[in-house]
């Protein structure tokens, strides 16, 4: 991994960790963190790697935005605005194909982080029943939006933690960095 890739990995780690902490503490991922990264990531890659870096950053952003848009169309809006902006910013910062791996590892980290909490609170069965009720309300009853966390015994998972875990794990996928 060259120096630019190492610096990018450190930036991803710092941004991800900061988002995880703010989401765990306040339930928010703030614009003061995500918007500067989203704006500066393409510039960073242009300066560090020239036009190929710029295109990789824009492709990372575009791939992230496209996948999140398709998920929203199919499954409804499940992520908050801060989560979406953080994923887009990290996609732009990591570039393509990092963004794809980040999204995969982020999705896989959700159950890994939620399961111990559900086991400790003894709500695994309740959570699965709640999921089934919400899926049926979404699809069978034709509701456009369903809030899984509203009124749930499990509460809302600060997804910034899952995003941080997925983002950091994706840094270590071999062959992603020049």
Mind listing the pLDDT tens digit for each residue in 91-147?
A: 999 999 999 999 999 999 988 887 777 777 777 787 777 777 777 776 676 665 655
Give the start-to-end residue ranges of the domains of the chain.
Answer: 3-171
Q: DSSP letters of the chain?
A: --HHHHHHHHHHHHHHHHHHHHHHHHS---HHHHHHHHHHHHHHHHHHH-HHHHHHHHHHHHHHHHHHHHHHHHH---S-HHHHHHHHHHHHHH-TTHHHHHHHHHHHHHHHHHHHHHHHHT-HHHHHHHHHHHHHHHHTS--S---SSTT-SS----HHHHHHHHHHHHHTSTTS--
Average pLDDT over residues 149-171: 81
pLDDT score at 71 = 83
Q: 85-104 pLDDT, tens per residue?
A: 999 999 999 999 999 999 99
> Taking the model in full, what pTM does it have?
0.83
Percent share of the chain, pLDDT over 90? 58
pLDDT score at 77 = 67
């Amino acid at each position: 991994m060259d120096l630019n890739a190492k610096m990018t990995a450190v930036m991803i780690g710092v941004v991800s960790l900061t988002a995880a902490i703010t989401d765990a503490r306040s339930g928010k991922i703030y614009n003061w963190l995500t918007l500067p990264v989203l704006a500066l990531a393409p510039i960073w890659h242009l300066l560090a790697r020239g036009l190929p870096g710029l295109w990789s950053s824009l492709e990372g952003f575009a791939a992230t935005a496209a996948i999140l848009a398709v998920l929203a169309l199919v499954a409804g809006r499940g992520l908050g605005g801060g989560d979406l902006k953080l994923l887009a910013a990290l996609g732009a910062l990591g570039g393509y194909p990092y963004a794809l791996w980040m999204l995969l590892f982020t999705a896989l980290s959700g159950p890994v982080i939620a399961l111990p909490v559900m086991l400790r609170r003894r709500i695994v069965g309740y959570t699965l029943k709640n999921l089934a009720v919400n899926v049926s309300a979404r699809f069978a009853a034709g509701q456009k939006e369903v809030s899984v966390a509203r009124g749930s015994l499990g509460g809302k998972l600060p997804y910034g933690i899952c995003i941080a875990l997925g983002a950091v794990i994706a840094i270590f996928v071999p062959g992603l960095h020049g």
